[in-house]
Amino acid sequence: MHKITLIPGDGIGLEIVESVKQIFAAAKVPIEWDEQLIGKTAFEKTGKLLPDELVNSIKTNKVALKGPAETPIGKGFQSVNVQLRQLFDLYANVRPCKNIKGVQTKFDNVDLVLFRENTEGLYSGISYYDERLEIADSISRVTKRGCERIVRAAFEYAHKNNRKKVTIIHKANILKHSGRLLLEAGENCKKDFPNLIVEDKIIDNMAMQLVRNPEYFDVMVTSNLFGDILSDLCAGLVGGLGVVSGANVGDEYAVFEAVHGTAPDIAGKGIANPTAVLRSAILMLEYLKENELAHKIDAALIKVLSVKENCTGDLGGKSNTAQFTENIIKNLGS
């Protein structure tokens, strides 16, 4: 039995996480959930965006599944997601983006995995505002260790999953020191993985190449800000934020989460698409070495997604969250 911290979060988080709970129960996944609050919901109940109970739960269970969370904007709060990633040193944000049969997009064979450094760069939290001069500084701090471990994580993933190519994405022509650290990490890693093709691309060129010819790319690794932007671009290539999974992984802890937000425009209406959080939960099962169950649930999900009418409204279908969930459960045995 795996004990997992479950964080439904805010907005549609409650609805989509409920869907995962029902599907996992029907598939008889050996999991005991330890449910915890985060974000706005937590703040209203406990006065904290990241309550101690949640932090202690992750410390104990080591693995969590998380829905989207809201951080009040402009009130001096640091993003709960950034806090969580830094607190548990979840340095690798892993975003697989693969075409799904039935989800129509401009391309047919996109199969990308983006590794985004998750704890440093412009998101280090080092920022100042000079009231007198009215100047805002957001410092991008990048360490050699940070570059080495994210690049190595990408290479190791590529090697273990029989991938062919790793692309290192940077802006070393302008951001000379931080770009160099990332490229040097790539040079060092290359020696240990002679079977992998290694390329590097400058971020702006990469953005253009990705929208023109995404099928060319395979595993990619980059810094925090570039990864944040490119990961949504990659999601757009395979059907949007409603269908892609995400994992935040460190050496000791892992937090799996959908990459979309709390969708306040549709929260409470029962129409949210639970695919992204379900696919993140499937990634979590693989991490827990429950590969057979992961495959079974994934197969049921893909079967439902392959008939457009059975999808939720964001994918042009007619199902609400509950109908979509029931349909997946019905297909678990097939």
118 binds ligand NAI (CB under 6 A): no
CA distance 281 to 275: 10
- Distance in angstroms (rounded) separating the CA atoms of residues 302 and 297: 9
CB-nearer residue toward ligand NAI: 170 or 260: 260
Crossing angle for the helix pair 224-237 and 203-212, nearest 10 degrees? 10
**Rounded to an integer, what distance in angstroms lies between the CA atom of residue 101 and that of residue 104?**
8
- Please pick, from the candidates 43, 123, 314, 328, the single residue that binds ligand NAI as defined by CB under 6 A: 314
70 interacts with ligand NAI by CB under 6 A: yes
DSSP secondary structure of 271-310 = ----HHHHHHHHHHHHHTT-HHHHHHHHHHHHHHHTSGGG
Please pick, from the candidates 64, 241, 285, 304, the single residue that binds ligand NAI as defined by CB under 6 A: 241
Output 121 or 242, the one with its CB closest to ligand NAI.
242
Of 22-30, 45-53, 229-237, 266-274, the segment contacting ligand NAI by CB under 6 A is 266-274
The window from 26-34, 62-70, 131-139, 168-176 that contacts ligand NAI (CB under 6 A) reads 62-70
Interface with ligand NAI (CB under 6 A), residue from 276, 278, 301, 304: 276
Count the Cβ atoms, other than its own, within 10 Å of residue 94. 23
Of 84, 70, 79, 81, residue with least CA distance to 40: 70
Residue 214, interface with ligand NAI (CB under 6 A)? no
C-alpha of 11 from chain center: 18
- Closer residue to ligand NAI in complex, CB, 172/272: 272
Residues in the site for ligand NAI, rule: CB under 6 A?
12, 16, 68-71, 81, 241-242, 257, 260-266, 272-273, 276, 314
